[in-house]
Chains A and B, each alone.
Chain A
Amino acid sequence: QVQLQESGPGLVKTSETLSLTCTVSGGSINNFYWSWIRQPPGKGLEWIGYISYNGNTDYNPSFKSRVTISLDTSKSHFSLKLTSVTAADTAVYFCARDSQITDAFAIWGQGTMVTVSS
């Protein structure tokens, strides 16, 4: 059974770079589309972007100038970098994956809370 696990600092200073990693276990990272999604406290879900198994990326235009998603197949993980963060970037960050039969987000990590503060 495929599992996703987010990791990274829980606190990031204003104007610095948020960096998170999603480790994939129980399955190959060499297929599918690997996404980052976030949820500010008490609010809804926002797709940040994805990277495909062959390294192609697409990002939400709301983040395009600040976001980079990368893939390391040798370590079975993919990563998110979000630069110049502000308090508005405080959220639970989820990694997620599609499946062989749908582009919907079939598998999710448990999420990791990131607080941006000076």
Chain B
Amino acid sequence: EIVMTQSPATLSVSPGERVTLSCRASQSVSNNLAWYQQKPGQAPRLLIFGASARATGIPARFSGSGSGTEFTLTISSLQSEDFAVYYCQQYNDWPPLFTFGGGTKVEIK
């Protein structure tokens, strides 16, 4: 099983700040890495797939980078609606065993 580790667990930031979230895989997942945003009481929403491609309707302030085992999600200027929990997920494993990171909570400072 590929273990996904996210850091930090919690990030306290002010609106307008630049935010960088990290995700590390226990072995290479190539670029088969997705990022999701989840708000309380809601399903996760796909933000980024293929490590760097924005999903439909996702604002340009969200960007993803990395490959292999190290990945980053950057929010260029945090908006009020961006306070949420962010998960990374790999979909590289075969036979398929899709695994998620433990999440990073972005909270208001």
Quick check: B49 and A102 within 8 Å, CB to CB?
A: yes
Chain A residues with CB under 8 Å of B45's CB are: 108
Chain B residues with CB under 8 Å of A111's CB are: 43
* Contact-size category for B: 20 to 34
Main secondary structure of the interface of B (DSSP, over half): loop
Q: How many residues from A make CB contacts under 8 Å with B?
A: 21
Q: Does A110 contact B (CB under 8 A)?
A: yes
Residues in chain B within 8 A of chain A (CB atoms): 1, 32, 34, 36, 42-46, 49-50, 53, 55, 87, 89, 91, 95-103
B43 contacts which of A61, A101, A110 (Cβ < 8 Å)? Answer: A110
Residues in chain A within 8 A of chain B (CB atoms): 35, 44-47, 50, 58, 60-61, 94, 96, 101-106, 108-111
CB distance from B59 to the nearest CB of A (A): 17
Given A44-B87, A44-B102, A102-B49, does the pair A58, B96 have CB atoms closer than 8 Å?
A: yes
Quick check: A50 and B100 within 8 Å, CB to CB?
A: no
Give Cα A50 to B89, complex, Å: 16
Quick check: A105 and B95 within 8 Å, CB to CB?
A: no
Quick check: B89 and A105 within 8 Å, CB to CB?
A: yes
B95 contacts which of A47, A58, A94, A109 (Cβ < 8 Å)? Answer: A58
Quick check: A104 and B49 within 8 Å, CB to CB?
A: yes
Give Cα A46 to B103, complex, Å: 12
Give Cα A110 to B101, complex, Å: 20
Instruction: Given contacts A104-B50, A111-B43, list 13 more A-B pairs with CB under 8 A.
Output: A44-B87, A44-B101, A45-B89, A45-B100, A47-B99, A47-B100, A60-B97, A102-B34, A103-B32, A104-B91, A105-B34, A108-B44, A109-B43
Given A45-B87, A58-B95, does the pair A104, B100 have CB atoms closer than 8 Å?
A: no
Quick check: A102 and B100 within 8 Å, CB to CB?
A: no
CB distance from A34 to the nearest CB of B (A): 13
